[in-house]
A and B are shown apart, each in its own frame.
Chain A
């Protein structure tokens, strides 16, 4: 047997402070009417740092700082000068990528190979990409001299803390807005390190403000009268509440919410690569992915063969220490999320689907969930309809392309879909009919800053990334 020896990435590159304040007006400040909370390592439950929870007054201070910076510095600044700051930030992210990747894995629980090879390269790429747009907005297709909105309130989730920050901040700054960003309460630390990078880049004070906290802080930010734009990525439930709060105000809103993506495998698919795509679709980032391929639709003529290959492959996955370079699956981000995943998985078994997990030893400390596959799932099962946001795959079958489309579209969501077939004409036929913001052809979970991303129906509205992503932050 080839036993891989432990290969832990060193934590020494990260220097954490015991406590963090809020980043307002270019410096770290203590909250005035807020509180504090701790952020833990979900793989060990060890406390990493104490973090401020911003109150209503703190949010107001941050919005005022952003307004001042917008009026006096960032709004009037020529695009080519804004670009210089964004390029500088992008380069600093690259230079400090190891530090950021280790901290991301510590705070979030995702395996270091993903934070190192996926998250951080995409974060830097996003800043580079939008830095390039800053002085070319006249040519973006929105008419001459499109104007920014003003102050953007941005609320991001815990599944890709730094990447979601990049998706929000890079286009907002490139188009001339200033921002107040609230990271998720379980993963605030890389955003605070990003604040240090803003200081290092000499970004003018108040252009980026980071207010940590939980739901109450987010609510205060969304309901603040002086924000011109709200951008939210997270659950559909919170998205609805935000839409209600913003309704009737002159505030632009984009929402990127949940998903229940279908990954459709036809009998002429490249089987070995499809199996990789299925694994990547649902087990990437412990399944904490809004566009995860959580519903596998197999054509009945190859269902047994693909399932056998899939199980053999899933048995190879290495679950464990997120900082071990050979870990494929890390920790579930929080006790609350673990409880939700367990509840839905139990419901799947109770409703009659067959549950399977490979033999795998889970660590005793921390929050862990073994990769799980449900077969014999029908459209009526909760695990086929509700977003689980964990490493749980529901397998359904279909007979014809028309049935595949019908089942894939039979969901209130519509964020992404995957199709596996060697036949080009079928691929195009399906891509036209699938109601999903992204359709991946013979691949899954591929991201690129040049490509717009967003959903249909309850998966939200507005697009992030690419030229389309500029529109959300321009007065057009």
Chain B
């Protein structure tokens, strides 16, 4: 077995994971109808499937956002008129199950309630690279729309044939096809009856423009909401297949430690308890979680540890170990920095840093694994079910067809559930025990053995003319990542560079990736430049912005806060920041209150304007935007992983502070609905501008520039 927890490797999404599928449609169409019953099925098969292979982590193309190119979605209309949409995307709290069902209902012209989504089950749904990168809305909703439009055409043609008329005059609406000339109509259910008609998606059907949406664009509540408020919904952690054992894994004392000796004494005598050693992996499975833990407690294991970098040395290490030669794709240059700096009326250089932080999804990483006749089924909360399947197949030397991964709607992820760790552990233990095994990570394991948002250092050199126009912009990011690294401001002379550094802690995707770090540095720096130029923060930005969508969110946020606001009390401050990433635009305003005596900083109000094209579900979007703002506040003010020599020092909620009710300010989200622009994703970008807006407000209140995230883990230290 791969000792996944011992190895440090970087998550692909950090460099925009975009590998196209090499997989073919596995489910024979005959089987498809066996499962769903007769009816009409449409498969989205893109033309010109490239034979792109998945490349090794770290060597993926940076800006290629191609999709899996073969079958990407399918749809079934049953004999009872029920509609089922299939997608490999996972529901992880972002409410995409509702949004996708809305999309299908809208395009197929059926009531929302008649649509059911089957998601993220490698045996039933099309290959999907994963649920990340804010890709579901911009890529999956148009595909589902196209299959729905095709299904609608098939139904219309079936009706035309039935009545022996031309299909052109017929109207599809409210789950039936009507002939306006004669007034007769046939329900979809009637048209699907007795048919086993499967069709690949024909040439791209025109899809309904946002302006004509009737079900999409509405604030439809989360499907199955009742199952969540009654506790009936079963997350992975809640599953208990018959005969299931509970699994536990013996963790090394520090990262990278290797097992040098292993003795198993009393554990042999425990009835019904299985202890497994496989390489550096040691785990136990038992009828109760407690017995599994007791079995591990009885194991005598010795580990060889290795010396590792600690918090204190981190930023110096990043600077010293940044790759001497950056890959071309991580380096952008335009004009001459030297010239731009020479022509500047004012220069400003500064260094920024961000700490490692943890996702801390409330449902820990978990998996239930079951072997039947040499085939493996795993239920696990992951954002990448197909990648998990492939990793399991590789680890257990099975064909992919012998592994099935199913993702129950999951207790959040935020980019943190890409890997197959818990799935591997459960599968290994289940194979040894010959019974289903569930592994649920403890909170401490979550905070230690998962992966983190990478820390980083950012250096900026800049110059402005006397009128406030940028003349030079040089931006270096060490280690944290390249997302959102390019400035949206107009500047003739610029250089941006992302320097890869060997990993210290296991690192990977986190909501917004490095865009949060890069926006923190850039927008803090822009504010400092505005002060240098003695200009209002908004006027200074507007002076250097051409992008009309960015200007619109900036104006909307400022208007909503009432910028420029007069200070009405001691310690009050206002700040603003903006940015664009993954096709959406954000501007955030913060009001803070700083107690100069105690150093306490309180965020009083956050206002955010967000624009992601045509809004598919304003209610779900508002939840995501407000949620991102609150999550962003944690990383801005106090969240940080502390580590020393391969050990995490604060692996609990009692020592790693996350935002709680008292931290939550008054919040306003202003959603700009641009029906003329294709919908972009919204799960990530709303987090980016929170930290710099708060930091800029702290400067306004106290005159102190805070260049390191988190900014005030122990309050503000005033000189």
Do A and B interact with each other, yes or no?
no
Residues of B within 8 A of A (CB): none
Residues of A within 8 A of B (CB): none
